[in-house]
Chains A and B, each alone.
Chain A
Amino acid sequence: MNIFYRLSLLIPLFSLLTHAQVQLVGTGATFPAVIYSKWFDEYRNTTGIQINYQPIGSGGGIRQIIEGTVDFGASDGPMTDRQLSDAKSKQGTGILHIPTVMGAVVVCYHIPGLGKGLNLDSRALSDIYIGRITMWDDPYIKNLNPESNLPHRAVLVAHRSDGSGTTFIFTDYLSKISSEWASKIGRGTSVNWPVGLGGKGNDGVAGLVKQTEGSVGYVELAYAIKNNIPYADIKNQSGYFIEPTFSSVSAAAMAASVNMPSDLRVSITDPPGKGSYPISGFTWLLVYQNMKNETKAKALVNFLKWAMSRGQALAAGLYYVPLPASIIKLCNNKINLITANGKKIK
């Protein structure tokens, strides 16, 4: 029996190793996971507060904040009114959407013998994802890329298998520009894909595209750049092929932020403007307006303020687009609304 005694003695020993310090738990979008993990690492180094973020997908962020199993959620698709009322009835408090950074969803591809600079437009994209365009040398794609030497290879479509804000931004765009897409498939954090392979997370899709010749997928810009996967220039409303860059995403944000709704839930896909990249979006942290634990509330508010100032400076280095100053102001107003048991946070 001795062994069992010894084994059971080990367990309290493990818990003795614990230290009493604040730990926040959040789950959600994989789209901003690269910058969030950098932020949380930096923030721990400066303040000692651990923020454990698990990128399980935007759908997961929304689900878990409704269930109250996390301290905050994260999503690239805003919560629907129905989800907000669900959360209100389950958790007894409203949910605030705080934009943190912006990012572009890029259409990345892996075509042997073809580097950067494939041109695509909305129709090509929706046809690829509906399954009408199946070969890379399809006349329609050839027509958009007269100079490129497109191989006679099957188009291997990759999409997300999990609930994802990246999917939301992408399908939101396709729904805006294709009525067929809007009626048949629609927009959402997960949709019923007509073709393709499912990868879990932005990293999963980037991994699929990187490992698979002839593939095409949609991921957050940072994932494409960090992995050296080429991505396409997309034709915008004004008829220009735009490369996703800081300035083209900022241009989209500026164009869209003119009429920003008060709850900051805004879609900036397919924006007007000559230089706007058409498939981009905000990513939000989802936080309870009234938190039950004061220490946690304080830690979260301080972190959010840090993210709006020091955090923004870290964004560019990781290929995320910092928020324009006008939006940061709106965010700080929102952050000040967070309370702990009804009391203001000092």
Chain B
Amino acid sequence: MVKRLNNHFSQNIGDLIFEKLTLLFAVSVFLLVILMGYEMYLGSKISIQKFGFSFLFNSSWDPVQEVYGALPIIYGTVVSSILSLLIAVPLSIGVAIFLAEVAPSWLEKPVSFLVELLAGIPSVIYGLWGIFVLVPWLRNSFEPWLADKFGYLPFFRGAPYGFGMLAAVMILTIMLLPIISSISRDVLKAVPRSRREAALALGATKWQSTLIVLKDAKSGILGASMLGLGRAIGETMAVTMVIGNRSLISTSLFDPSYTMASVIANEFTEATSQMYLSSLIELALVLFIITIIINAFARILVWSMSRKWSAA
């Protein structure tokens, strides 16, 4: 009897230790994220105190005068992400429809594999390709052609450097495509077959039944796009390597620009004053907060989608 009790007791102890041990790690992950935010807040304190909200709205990034305003950098980040998203989302939806609805399975598998492979290529390799293939092509062929045909538009003015906003948008688009399309494909596939079959039985064409599926999958695709947006905003290497690196607000896509992540990559180790460093950490903090908001929003959308169909 005593032995059994003992045994029982040790079982409980074992379970307790096991639970607390795994809890410890879960708590450490929890604390890690909190600590990251706190550490960046500490590091950026003097810049926050000095510039306040003007940090976000001042357009001069001037290390000589020790005045740091992130407006052109935020502008560059937002414009490059939004433009690339505008191109990548429709294309990705097309790819997702192709994979989930159109392609026969012998074609779907290898194409899906290729698309996922593209998602696994390190961003520095995209940048390498950007520098040596994309940028020279933009400079020598595409940008002069754009300037020639559409030069009356404010978007295609100025010297064709090759490096600049256009190059960044194109690289980001290529990088976003596999991410958004593979999630969208999963979302489309999550819509029950019965929805399609019902439409087809009523004499709808493939496209009409796809429209119905798309409507069902709306929030999931929106979530996928938000995840893509998060990725675009935080993308560092590929963008830094082709965007031209100057804080500038310009309507022309030919002009160089800067994003938050690329400013940090370029200037972080070499910020010579406390205020400079603090401003860069504040940029990282802003980036951190923005990605938290975007990701939270995206996850909620994707969750609501999966819950909808798992409940049905």
Chains A and B touch (C-beta atoms under 8 A apart): yes
A residues at B contact (CB < 8 Å): 27, 56-64, 82-83, 86, 134, 154-156, 161-163, 185-193, 196-200, 208, 211-214
In the assembled complex, B7 has its CB within 8 A of some CB on chain A: no
Given A191-B62, A192-B60, answer yes or no on A198-B269 (Cβ-Cβ < 8 Å).
no
B271 CB–A CB distance under 8 Å: yes
Q: In the complex, what distance in Å separates the CA atom of A187 from the CA atom of B135?
A: 31
User: Is the beta-carbon distance between A190 and B63 smaller than 8 angstroms?
Assistant: yes
Of the candidates A63, A64, A193, the one having the most CB atoms from chain B within 10 angstroms of its own CB is: A63
Give the distance in Å from the alpha carbon of A134 to the alpha carbon of B157 in the complex. 14
B266 contacts A198, C-beta separation under 8 Å:
yes
Measured between beta carbons, the chain A residues less than 8 angstroms from B272 are 59, 62-63, 83, 163, 189-190
**Chain B 34-63 near chain A by CB (<8 Å), digits 1 or 0:** 000000000000000000000000001111
Given A191-B64, A200-B245, decide whether A208 and B271 contact each other with a Cβ distance below 8 A. no
Interface size of B by Cβ–Cβ distance < 8 Å?
31
Nearest B residue to A62, CB-CB: B272
Q: Which residues of B contact A156 (CB under 8 A)?
A: 159, 161
Among A86, A134, A162, which residue has its beta carbon within 8 angstroms of that of B270? A162
Indicate if the CB atoms of A63 and B159 lie closer than 8 Å: no
B140 to chain A, nearest CB (A): 8
* Chain B residues, Cβ within 8 Å of A86: 273-274
Complex Cα gap A192–B68 (Å): 10
29 contacts between A and B (CB under 8 A): A27-B269, A57-B270, A58-B270, A59-B270, A59-B271, A63-B269, A86-B273, A86-B274, A154-B158, A154-B159, A154-B160, A161-B246, A162-B266, A162-B267, A163-B272, A188-B63, A189-B63, A189-B270, A190-B267, A190-B272, A191-B63, A193-B246, A196-B256, A197-B246, A200-B245, A200-B266, A208-B163, A211-B136, A212-B163
15 additional A-B pairs beyond A154-B160, A190-B270, A214-B159, beta carbons within 8 Å, are A56-B270, A59-B272, A63-B269, A63-B277, A155-B159, A163-B271, A163-B272, A187-B64, A188-B64, A192-B247, A197-B256, A198-B245, A198-B256, A211-B135, A212-B162
Separation of A199 and B131 alpha carbons in the complex (Å): 12
Contact of A197 among B65, B245, B267, B274 (CB under 8 A): B245
Query: Which residue on chain A has the smallest CB distance to residue B136?
Result: A211
Q: How far is the CA of A219 from the CA of B131 in the complex (A)?
A: 20
Residues on B facing A (Cβ under 8 Å) = 60-65, 131, 135-136, 139, 158-164, 244-247, 256, 266-267, 269-274, 277
Asked whether, in the complex, the Cβ of A60 is within 8 Å of the Cβ of B269, the reply is yes
Closest residue on chain B to residue A199 by CB atoms: B245
From B158, B159, B270, B277, residue with most partner A Cβ within 10 Å:
B270
**In the complex, number of A-B residue pairs with CB atoms less than 8 Å apart:** 97
- Report the minimum CB–CB distance from A32 to chain B (whole Å): 16
Q: Pick from A60, A82, A192, A198: contact of B244, CB below 8 A.
A: A198
Q: Would you call A185 and B64 a contact (CB within 8 A)?
A: yes
Residues on A with C-beta less than 8 A from B161 are: 156, 197, 212
Residues of B close to A196: CB separation below 8 A: 246, 256
Q: How far is the CA of A58 from the CA of B164 in the complex (A)?
A: 25
User: Could you tell me if A186 and B65 are in contact, using CB atoms closer than 8 angstroms?
Assistant: yes
CB neighbours (8 Å) of B277 from chain A are: 63
CB distance from B239 to the nearest CB of A (A): 13
- Closest-by-CB residue of A relative to B135 is A211
Report Cα–Cα, A163/B160, bound state, in Å.
Answer: 26
Which chain B residues border A63 with CB–CB below 8 Å?
269-272, 277
Q: How far is A64 from B268 in the complex, measured between Cα atoms in Å?
A: 11
The interface residues of chain B lying within 8 Å CB-to-CB of A162 are 266-267, 270
**Alpha-carbon distance between A82 and B64 when the two chains are bound, in angstroms:** 13
Q: Across the interface, do A161 and B245 meet the contact criterion of CB distance under 8 Å? A: yes
Task: Write the chain B residue with the least CB distance to A200.
Answer: B266
A205 to chain B, nearest CB (A): 11
Minimum distance in angstroms from A154 CB to a CB of chain B: 4
A68 to chain B, nearest CB (A): 14
Complex Cα gap A185–B65 (Å): 9
Residues of A within 8 A of B164 (CB): 197
Look across to chain A and name the residue whose beta carbon is closest to the beta carbon of B63.
A190
Decide: A163 near B63, CB < 8 A? Known: A27-B269, A56-B270, A197-B161: yes
Shortest CB distance B281–A (Å): 13
How far is it, in angstroms, between the C-alpha of A208 and the C-alpha of B162 when the chains are bound? 10
Q: In the A-B complex, list the 8 residue pairs whose CB atoms are closest, starting with the nearest.
A: A198-B245, A59-B270, A60-B270, A163-B270, A154-B159, A192-B62, A161-B245, A188-B64
